[in-house]
Structure formats: C-alpha cells, structure tokens
Amino acid sequence: MANQSSSSSSSSYPILCASFNQDASHFVIGTREGFKVFDSNTGRLCYERAIGAFIVVEMLFTSSLLAIVGAGEQPSLSPRRLCLFNITTGTALRELNFLTSILAVRMNKERLIVILQDKTYVYDINKVKILDAIDTVPNLKGLCGFSPSLDGCFLALPASITKGSVLLYNVMELQSHYAHRAPLAAIVLCSNGMYIATASEQGTIIRVHLVSDATKSYSFRRGTYPSTIFSLSFAPSMQIPDILVATSSSGSLHVFSLGFALNQRSRKFLGSIIPDSITDALDPAHRHVLHSAVTAGVKSNAVIRKVDKVADASTPGIASCKATISIITYNGYFQEYSFRLNYQNEPLWTLEHEFNLLSPVSDNASS
C-alpha cells in the first residue's frame, strides 16, 4: 500500500487536507481550525490542535512526529514553512522555510521529502539535513507517489507537462531511474516499491507497471465517461498486491483485482505485440464497483488497510479475498467498508463504520 495524501484550498470543503500514515493505522486531517489525529481502527480522536488552518498534515508511522504546513491565513502559519511537530510535547521540533509554497510532504524513518511547484527537496529526517534538490517540471498539484519501505524507497514525480511521464527517484541511493509513459492525474507506489500505478487524465484508464523494468504490466478500464481520480491505493503486500482501489468524482469506489490479472502470462504476451490503444480496448474488467460510495463530486482519499485470505464456506479448500477499505471524504466523514471477493470473482460490500470527523467522540483529546 502506498499512502496517497490529498489537499484542497477550496472553501467548499470543511477538510483542507487528509492523509493516512504509512501503515494506515492512523489518519490525520487539516481544517480551518487546526488539525486532528485519529485511530483508523476505532475512529477515536487521539489528538487535536486548534491553532489555525492547515493544508498539509502528515504523520510518521505511529510516532509522535507530524509534518504540518499552514494555509497562510495568518502570518505564523505560512504555506512556505514546514514545521516538524511533536504531539506528545505539543511543541515544534524544527521549522524549514522555502521560497515558494509547500504542496506535499512525504516521510519514512530515514527521509523527509518536500514537494514544491518546481523543485523537490530530499532530507535526512533524523538530522534534518538536505541531501538533494531535484528540479521538476511545473507540478501545480504537488502530485507524487512514495513507497516508505527502506529497501525499495522510490519517489515518483511528473517528468513532463505535455507527454505525461513519471520520473522515478530512489531516495535512499539518491539516484534517478527512468520515466514511465503514463497520464498523470494520480500516481501511487506500493509500500515495497515494486509496483507503480498511474491514472489517465480522463480517469478512464488505470495502468500498473513493474518498477524494476518499466514494462507495462497491466491496464484496467475504470469506466467509459471521464472522471477525476481523487486517490489510488495498493493493498499492503510483500509481493504482488492483491488489489488496487480508486476513488473518483463519480462517487464510486473501484477495486481492481491485481493478483489474478498480473499473473495472466498469455495476456501480457498479447499486450507486448499489439499497440496500447488496442490493448486498452481489449483489457478485461478485473474490477468491482460500489456505486454512490460517497457523494458525487466530493473529494475523497481511500486506502486498503488490510487484506486477508479467508476460507470460502461454499467451497472447501478455496480461499476468498477480504479487504478493509477506509475512506476520508472532504465534506467531513470517515467510512470503512469490508470488501469480499469469492473464488467465482463475485463481490460483497459491507459498510462497517461511518462517522463525522468534525464532531467525533474523543477519549483522549488534547487542544
């Protein structure tokens, strides 16, 4: 799984930014009043701070460290200033100032990544020492993908504003790799850095690539009509992720079955000898759709928190896939769905939890 953070400065949303931590055990939101930290398993509000508007809030695993960026509605919360904040002590550990607004931040236990419109900075997070500065094409949305694993720690950035390509950068080795041909409405890397997924600008095609050799592994058709992709997330896995999830402006939740599709060797061979435009049309729909999962047009961020193999009662010896999918909507709600796919490729959706993020019940809140 790879965390996909989203931010929005639109006044129509009460939530300005939302992101899950690296293992999706917690999530954080930024509002016009401050920021909040929640437990993904229980929905419990763990911490809140009401000191002004924030457009970036990121949490480092289950530590007390947050990376926060203000919305600029008051001088002390400049969008050009990154604050490393300790929620245990309630104090700022370090502040970093930049020439232009900070659009996105990513972290793991060794690296801190700061995304600006035309430049990306890589820091040693423990020493807060700059290691590299990467010049990028204009990246107005702060689009990026990041795999937090130290063994396959890649950063994916837009490499062209006209051709739609992705630059892969190893943040541990400080080396650029190659660019994938792919439209850039959304980018995500799986947690171990083995696979990268990209969404077309029209939101109709999702492509999954193997990072090690840049070959096109598979394409999925999300739908026929254009739709803005809000988030992409791989399932957590040490090898091939079982599923990929996407949310879009249509309000639907899409789940793509990767394990089955990526292992179809005959299909991959067919894709290697005919043009992309034709293979896209021939791609089978290894996808399952929950319509009206969220309100159409409302921005959302979804992650696959866990995937389990469970025995199929109707067919002894056959296991089915069960996934827990969590969604944050920018109109202020958290939803958790259970998705089960049996051996006949039949889906079953269950809404397990739903609550309001703006007025939660707190057992342990601090302000």
Higher local confidence (pLDDT), 132 or 165: 132
Predicted TM-score of the model (pTM) = 0.85
Nearest CA among 207, 211, 157, 162 for reference residue 182 = 207
Confidence of residue 69 (pLDDT cuts 50, 70, 90): very high
Apex CA 78: angle with CA 76 and CA 79, to 5°? Answer: 155
Confidence check: pLDDT of 350 > 60: yes
State the sign of the Cα–Cα–Cα–Cα dihedral 6, 258, 197, 308: positive
Give the ranges where the chain is alpha helix by DSSP (H). Answer: 258-262, 265-273, 276-282
Q: Render pLDDT for 266-311 as a digit per residue (tens, 0 to 9).
A: 333 333 333 344 344 334 447 899 999 999 999 999 999 999 877 7
Instruction: Report the distance separating Cα 132 and Cα 301, nearest Å.
Output: 29
Instruction: Report the distance separating Cα 292 and Cα 287, nearest Å.
Output: 16
Q: Render pLDDT for 213-267 as a digit per residue (tens, 0 to 9).
A: 665 567 788 877 889 999 999 998 766 677 899 999 999 999 988 765 544 433 3
pLDDT of residue 365: 44
Confidence of residue 341 (pLDDT cuts 50, 70, 90): confident
pLDDT of residue 279: 42
Confidence of residue 204 (pLDDT cuts 50, 70, 90): confident
Q: Region 199-214: what's the mean pLDDT? A: 80
Q: Region 144-154: what's the mean pLDDT? A: 91
State the sign of the Cα–Cα–Cα–Cα dihedral 6, 9, 13, 15: positive
| C-alpha distances out from residue 186 to 33, 121, 182, 206, Å | 28, 20, 10, 9
Instruction: Report the distance separating Cα 284 and Cα 167, nearest Å.
Output: 28
Quote the DSSP letter at residue 359: S
User: Where are the domains positioned within the chain?
Assistant: 14-142
Which amino acid is it at 209?
A: H
Fold entry, domain 14-142: Methylamine Dehydrogenase; Chain H (2.130.10)
Q: Poorest-confidence range of 70-84, 149-163, 197-211, 250-264?
A: 250-264
Q: Render pLDDT for 17-50 as a digit per residue (tens, 0 to 9).
A: 999 999 999 999 999 999 999 999 999 999 999 9
- Nearest 10 degrees: Cα torsion 340, 243, 112, 216: -170
Instruction: Report the distance separating Cα 223 and Cα 243, nearest Å.
Output: 17
Higher local confidence (pLDDT), 166 or 9: 166
Token pair listed for 157: 């950035």
